[in-house]
């Protein structure tokens, strides 16, 4: 008897530190439980109005959430610690910037057609948080695609002609209509919504509960 793999839909943005933390926590839980699964990434823009030049990270968080510099620094330290435990390297620096991700999502859509969306998504998280590369720069995005073995010239063409712009807008709209207002948001088995980075133990418990429900 074959068990159908658990479908996991993850709605996220590559500008979101909690999205990579949450994913890494989930990955550990999946490994612990030995859950057969398939992951589907979906687009969400935290800052659709972000200008091409981006914005200083501290300034952005202060404007959006009213956080003080000290609160932001404390939050970054916590995320760095969590990331390190999960094998992800956050390298916050003075001048760390947030960027517009609409084109990044278009490139991910293109990579999905070649079965490489997951790989490109992971590469983008590292490019942004570890290497501080500008993900609103088409040349940088095309470079990242090339680095994981995708066709760099084709990646650049996709971004230049914006052929997937409407598909991405439609996907973003769909998830907002489903009530998704923040990320990370996970939909398990097409019906159970889990929001935020829950931690390895919580994800493990959730996976066990799902298994029991299915049984």
Residue 71 within any structural domain of the chain = yes
Residue 1 within any structural domain of the chain = no
SS3 99: coil
CA gap 29, 27 in Å, rounded: 5
| CA–CA–CA angle 172, 190, 113 (5° rounding) | 55
Q: Which string of DSSP letters, residue by residue, matches 34-79?
A: T--EEEEEEE--S-TT--TT-EEHHHHHHHHH---HHHHHHHHHHH
Report residue 214's pLDDT band, with 50, 70 and 90 as the boundaries.
confident
pTM: 0.95
Summarised one tens digit per residue, pLDDT across range 67-116 is 999 999 999 999 999 999 999 999 999 999 999 999 999 999 999 999 99
Residue 196 within any structural domain of the chain = yes
Q: What CATH number is attached to the domain comprising 88?
A: 3.40.30.10
Please give the residue range of the domain that contains residue 196: 6-214
Summarised one tens digit per residue, pLDDT across range 124-170 is 999 999 999 999 999 999 999 999 999 999 999 999 999 999 999 99
Peptide bond between residue 37 and the one before it cis (omega within 30 degrees of 0): no
Domain count, the chain: 1
| CA–CA–CA angle 30, 209, 10 (5° rounding) | 50
Check pLDDT > 70 for residue 2: no
Counting every residue, how long is the chain?
Answer: 215
Whole-Å CA distances, 211 to 9, 178, 197, 199: 17, 25, 20, 18
60, 19 Cβ separation under 8 angstroms: no
CA gap 53, 59 in Å, rounded: 14
CA gap 39, 186 in Å, rounded: 10
SS3 143: helix
94, 174 Cβ separation under 8 angstroms: no
Q: What is the DSSP letter of 150?
A: S
Summarised one tens digit per residue, pLDDT across range 36-50 is 999 999 999 999 999
Residue 97 within any structural domain of the chain = yes
Residue 50 within any structural domain of the chain = yes
């Amino acid at each position: 008897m074959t068990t159908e793999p658990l479908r996991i839909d993850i709605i996220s943005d590559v500008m979101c530190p909690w999205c990579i933390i949450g994913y890494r926590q989930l990955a550990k839980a999946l490994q612990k439980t030995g859950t057969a699964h398939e992951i589907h990434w979906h687009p969400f823009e935290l800052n659709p109005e972000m200008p091409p030049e981006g914005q200083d990270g501290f300034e952005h968080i202060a404007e959006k959430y009213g956080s003080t510099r000290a609160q932001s620094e404390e939050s970054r330290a916590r995320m760095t610690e969590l990331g390190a435990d999960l094998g992800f390297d956050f390298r916050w620096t003075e001048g760390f910037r947030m960027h517009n991700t609409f084109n990044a999502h278009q490139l991910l859509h293109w990579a999905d057609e070649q079965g490489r969306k997951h790989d490109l998504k992971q590469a983008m998280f590292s490019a942004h948080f570890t290497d501080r590369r500008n993900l609103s720069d088409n040349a940088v995005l095309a470079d990242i695609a090339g680095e994981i073995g995708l066709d760099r010239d084709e990646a650049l063409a996709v971004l230049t002609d914006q052929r997937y712009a409407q598909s991405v807008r439609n996907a973003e709209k769909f998830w907002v209509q489903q009530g998704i207002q923040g990320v990370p948001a996970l939909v398990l088995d097409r019906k159970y919504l889990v929001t935020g980075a829950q931690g390895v133990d919580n994800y493990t418990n959730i996976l066990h509960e799902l298994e029991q429900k299915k049984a």
